[in-house]
Amino acid sequence: MLLLSVKVLSLDGWGIRGLIILEILEAIEKEAGQPIKDMFDWIGETSTGGIIALSIATGKRRLATRFEFFSQKAT
């Protein structure tokens, strides 16, 4: 039997607490020495997590992600 390994990153939508997720992901990237998007096959979630997931998938830097996050919350 052939077993496939699929790595999934699911990000919870926590509103303003999504900034905590960004800090954790940044620490993981620093420790691993590679971008988060290269460590997972699938990245997804809804709400705040969805904004972060899209930023990761498109390769945006954390500073740009934080700016987008606050822009979305301000409107």
Contact status, residue 10 vs residue 45, Cβ threshold 8 Å: yes
Q: Given this model, what pLDDT does residue 59 score? A: 78
Six-digit token pair at 6? 């699929």
Q: Tell me: pLDDT of 75 over 60.
A: no
Over residues 20-49, the mean pLDDT reads: 84
Query: pLDDT of 50-74, one tens digit each?
Result: 777 777 778 776 666 666 666 665 5
Q: Given this model, what pLDDT does residue 42 score? A: 86
Q: Tell me: pLDDT of 5 over 80.
A: yes
Q: Tell me: pLDDT of 8 over 90.
A: no
